[in-house]
């Protein structure tokens, strides 16, 4: 057997895997073994957090997944709020929802661009990357930055939304809902794309639960699980939205879940703008913020799945210990399960279908 | 049959797209119109939305309290307090912040830390340079407001798609 096989390194730094190495063992063009090799971009986010105040941690903690920087900060501010005793005012909760959903769209469109180009559909690289600019512009209107927003702080958000934001956001969402229909025709229901993604990399419902998949990967296997619905946080229970679920568990189902989420996110943004109460956006204390002794846990639904923080405080301005649980890390256990016995040509379709973000998994 | 229909509708979509508007911003001939930079109101303890670009330092308000440098300490460590040859009554020691843009991450927490309305951000984002030294901006450089750009455009959307006007 040993002479027959060939060991191949996919990544790090491309072709296709990013800052991550996938060691595959091939027999002909069939994958017989897979060893994911993470850790190239480990920066010790958890240890670093122990030397920084609750505010100074914010720019650092969003670095692991800059593409979804609000998603990774959301549970951090929820957990640290508990320790700092700074509940957010209602308006801030709605602004947070808008920002988190904008970021989900930005992240999904980036994924769609990459996925398109890796299944050989260059148009689906150019369209989402161009249209993503619309949502980045919206996020920039609120937060002033284009990628790393540093917008959520314990106690609320840093500033109110500008007056012209609601009109512009609704205009962009209305346009983009129509535009997504074109995406469906050219990509999601394109027979050539269906051939590459349907029935490829099947993750059964039981396996998905057992291997600990979260987010769109889990919902693509027919499990209706979303933290926004299961444990509503930050006024998500006031908003009426659906969770897209597909049963087949193949690459195409995982794509369709993300497409459905794009529609739902725009629906949520429109509702949040309408339902937003007036009032202050931040609950602030003067001086350095000190946590009360104790521990806090919070989890939210980020673009890639369940993101959770567990923070222990011993009454100092720094967290005593911070534990970060990221969704991408759970993809590692799925890779071996999905890639063995598949063709080499299907590796990009399966790997990118999981929306694995190496920097997030390495923390 | 449905395969052929789906294929034709995909190709049709691509052809239709030829008649759409171009979303690309023709930078640097035109610039996106960004009105103002991020600022902060220390009385109300809340920020005012704006672009987080290069800082602007109001020398006549800065007291040299170093709070901005302390705020940045564990973020990027890019603010150093330097002595200047100017005299302002509110700043006895004549020390002002100098910012190293090679390290700054434009988070704006230094702006949130300044209690004297002295440090804000502007809409200036063209900071590239060919050597590292010129990325360090002295307080005097920081006190100059950014030049107003020409050819400002805004994003518009009509039924032929988004474009800049
Ligand atoms: S914007 Fe952030 S990184 Fe830059 S000087 Fe201010 S605190 Fe430091
Ligand atoms: S800019 Fe503001 S915070 Fe910084 S030294 Fe001057 S007054 Fe103090």
Residue B63 Cβ < 6 Å to ligand 2: yes
Helix (H) or strand (E) holding A40: none
**CATH code for position A98:** 1.10.645.10
Q: Which atom of ligand 2 is nearest to the CA of B116?
A: 7
Q: Which of A109, A151, A159 to mutate to test the interface with B (most CBs of B within 10 A)?
A: A159
**Confidence grade of residue A1 (pLDDT, cut at 50, 70, 90):** low
pLDDT at B148: 82
d(CA A60, CA B74): 9
A329: left (phi over 0), alpha (psi -120 to 50) or beta: alpha
* Mean local confidence (pLDDT), A157-184: 89
* Mean local confidence (pLDDT), B102-121: 89
Interface residues on B facing A, Cβ-Cβ cutoff 8 A: 3, 6-7, 9-10, 12-14, 16-17, 23-24, 37-38, 45-52, 71, 73-76, 105-109, 112, 121, 155, 157, 161-162
What average pLDDT is seen over chain A? 88
Q: Tell the residue number behind the tokens 């999601």, with chain if given.
A: A188
pLDDT at A268: 92
The radius of gyration of chain A's CA atoms, rounded to the nearest angstrom, is 21
Residues of chain B with Cβ-Cβ distance to A281 below 8 Å are 46
Q: Which of A144, A175, A187, A316 to mutate to test the interface with B (most CBs of B within 10 A)?
A: A144
DSSP string, B12-44: HHHHHHTTSPP----TTTSEE----B-EEETTT
Residues in chain B: 165
**Confidence grade of residue B1 (pLDDT, cut at 50, 70, 90):** low
Q: Classify B5 as helix, strand or coil.
A: helix
| Residues A195-217 pLDDT 10s | 888 888 888 888 888 888 888 99
Q: Token digits for A163?
A: 């007056």
**Confidence grade of residue A267 (pLDDT, cut at 50, 70, 90):** very high
Name beta bridge partners: B37: B51
**Confidence grade of residue B141 (pLDDT, cut at 50, 70, 90):** confident
Task: Please answer whether residues A112 and A258 qualify as being in contact, where contact means their C-beta atoms are separated by less than 8 angstroms.
Answer: yes
Distance linking the first and last C-alpha atoms of chain A: 37
Does B109 contact A55 at a Cβ distance shorter than 8 Å? yes
| Residues A286-345 pLDDT 10s | 777 777 888 899 999 988 889 999 999 888 888 898 999 999 888 888 888 888 888 888
pLDDT at B74: 87
B27 min Cα distance to partner chain A (Å): 14
d(CA A80, CA A203): 36
**Candidate from B47, B68, B75, B118 with most ligand 1 atoms within 8 A of CB, to mutate:** B75
How far, rounded to the nearest angstrom, does the alpha carbon of residue A2 sit from its chain's CA centroid? 39
**Confidence grade of residue A262 (pLDDT, cut at 50, 70, 90):** very high
pLDDT at A311: 92
**Candidate from B42, B66, B138, B140 with most ligand 2 atoms within 8 A of CB, to mutate:** B66
- Helices marked H in B18-162: 67-72, 109-113, 139-142
Task: Please answer whether residues A159 and B48 qualify as being in contact, where contact means their C-beta atoms are separated by less than 8 angstroms.
Answer: yes
Residue B137 Cβ < 6 Å to ligand 2: no
Residues of chain B with Cβ-Cβ distance to A141 below 8 Å are 49
Q: Classify B50 as helix, strand or coil.
A: coil
A56 min Cα distance to partner chain B (Å): 6
Residue nearest to atom 4 of ligand 1 (CA): B104
Say which of B6, B12, B109 has its CB closest to residue A189: B6
- Helices A251-275 & A90-118, crossing angle to 10 degrees? 150
Decide: pTM greater than 0.95: no
Q: Which atom of ligand 2 is nearest to the CA of B63?
A: 7
pLDDT at A76: 92
pLDDT higher than threshold 80 for residue A15: no
Would strands A6-10 and B161-164 be described as parallel, antiparallel, or unpaired? Answer: unpaired
A137 min Cα distance to partner chain B (Å): 9
Does B6 contact A53 at a Cβ distance shorter than 8 Å? no
Ligand having the closest approach to the CA of B115: 2
Residues in chain A: 363
pLDDT at A290: 79
* Mean local confidence (pLDDT), B15-37: 84
ipTM above 0.90, yes or no: no
Set out the domains of chain B in order of their start, with CATH numbers. 38-146 (3.30.70.3270)
Q: What percent of chain A has pLDDT over 90?
A: 17
**Confidence grade of residue B149 (pLDDT, cut at 50, 70, 90):** confident
**Nearest to residue A108, comparing CAs of A137, A67, A74, A140?**
A67
A23 min Cα distance to partner chain B (Å): 35
* Mean local confidence (pLDDT), B97-117: 89
pLDDT at A108: 92
Does B109 contact A192 at a Cβ distance shorter than 8 Å? no
Q: What percent of chain A has pLDDT over 70?
A: 99
d(CA A332, CA A336): 8
Q: Which of A143, A149, A158 to mutate to test the interface with B (most CBs of B within 10 A)?
A: A158
E-only strand ranges, A105-214:
152-153, 156-157
pLDDT higher than threshold 70 for residue A2: no
Say which of A134, A141, A282 has its CB closest to residue B49: A141
pLDDT higher than threshold 90 for residue A109: yes
pLDDT higher than threshold 90 for residue A106: yes
Name the closest residue on chain A to residue B43, using Cα atoms.
Answer: A286
Q: Which atom of ligand 1 is nearest to the CA of B105?
A: 3
**Confidence grade of residue B43 (pLDDT, cut at 50, 70, 90):** confident
A334 min Cα distance to partner chain B (Å): 32
* Mean local confidence (pLDDT), A128-153: 89
Q: Token digits for B61?
A: 């308000």
**Nearest to residue A229, comparing CAs of A242, A246, A245?**
A242
Does B107 contact A58 at a Cβ distance shorter than 8 Å? yes
Q: Tell the residue number behind the tokens 């049963």, with chain if given.
A: A247
Residue B95 Cβ < 6 Å to ligand 1: no
Total of domains in chain A: 1
For residue A63, the enclosing domain spans: 2-361
């Amino acid at each position: 057997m040993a002479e027959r096989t060939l060991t191949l390194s996919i990544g790090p730094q491309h072709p296709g895997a990013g800052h991550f190495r996938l060691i595959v063992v091939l027999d002909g063009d069939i994958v017989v073994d897979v060893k994911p090799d993470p850790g190239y971009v480990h920066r010790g986010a958890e240890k670093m957090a122990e030397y920084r105040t609750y505010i100074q941690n914010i720019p650092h903690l969003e670095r692991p997944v800059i593409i979804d920087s609000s998603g990774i900060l959301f549970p951090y501010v929820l957990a640290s709020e508990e320790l700092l005793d700074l509940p957010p005012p209602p308006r801030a909760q709605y602004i947070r929802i808008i920002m988190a959903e904008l970021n989900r769209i930005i992240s999904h469109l980036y994924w769609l661009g990459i996925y398109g180009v890796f299944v050989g559909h260059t148009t689906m690289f150019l369209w989402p990357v161009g249209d993503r600019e619309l949502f980045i512009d919206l996020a920039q209107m609120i937060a002033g930055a284009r990628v790393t927003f540093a917008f959520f702080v314990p106690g609320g958000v840093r500033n109110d939304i500008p007056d012209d934001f609601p009109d512009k956001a609704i205009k962009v969402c209305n346009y983009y809902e129509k535009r997504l229909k074109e995406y469906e025709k050219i990509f999601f229901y394109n027979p050539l794309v269906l051939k590459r993604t349907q029935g490829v990399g099947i993750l059964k419902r039981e396996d998905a639960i057992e291997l600990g998949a979260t987010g769109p990967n889990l919902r693509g296997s027919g499990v209706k699980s979303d933290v926004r619905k299961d444990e509503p946080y930050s006024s998500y229970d006031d908003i009426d939205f659906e969770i897209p679920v597909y049963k087949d568990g193949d690459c195409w189902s995982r794509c369709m879940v993300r497409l459905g989420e794009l529609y739902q996110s725009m629906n949520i943004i429109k509702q949040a703008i309408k339902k937003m109460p007036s009032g202050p956006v931040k609950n602030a204390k003067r001086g350095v913020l000190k946590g009360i002794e104790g521990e806090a846990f919070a989890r939210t639904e980020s673009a890639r799945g369940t993101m959770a923080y567990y923070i222990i405080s011993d009454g100092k301005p720094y967290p005593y210990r911070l534990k970060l649980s990221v969704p991408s890390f759970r993809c590692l256990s799925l890779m071996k399960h999905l890639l063995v016995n598949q063709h080499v040509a299907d590796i990009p379709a399966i790997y990118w279908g999981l929306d694995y973000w190496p920097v997030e998994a390495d923390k | 049959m449905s395969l052929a229909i789906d294929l034709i509708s995909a190709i049709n979509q691509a052809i239709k797209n030829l008649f759409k508007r171009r979303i690309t911003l023709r930078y640097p001939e035109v610039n996106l119109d960004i009105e103002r930079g991020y600022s902060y109101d220390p009385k109300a303890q809340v920020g005012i939305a704006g672009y987080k670009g290069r800082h602007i330092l109001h020398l006549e308000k800065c007291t040299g309290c170093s709070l901005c440098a302390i705020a940045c300490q564990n973020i990027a460590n890019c603010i150093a307090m330097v002595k200047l040859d100017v005299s302002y009554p509110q700043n006895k020691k004549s020390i002002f912040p100098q910012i190293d843009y090679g390290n700054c991450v434009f988070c704006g927490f230094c702006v949130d830390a300044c209690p004297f309305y002295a440090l804000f951000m502007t809409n200036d984002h063209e900071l590239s340079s060919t050597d590292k030294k010129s990325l360090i901006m002295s307080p005097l450089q920081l006190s100059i407001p950014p030049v107003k750009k020409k050819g400002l455009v805004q994003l518009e959307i009509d039924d032929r798609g988004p474009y800049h006007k």
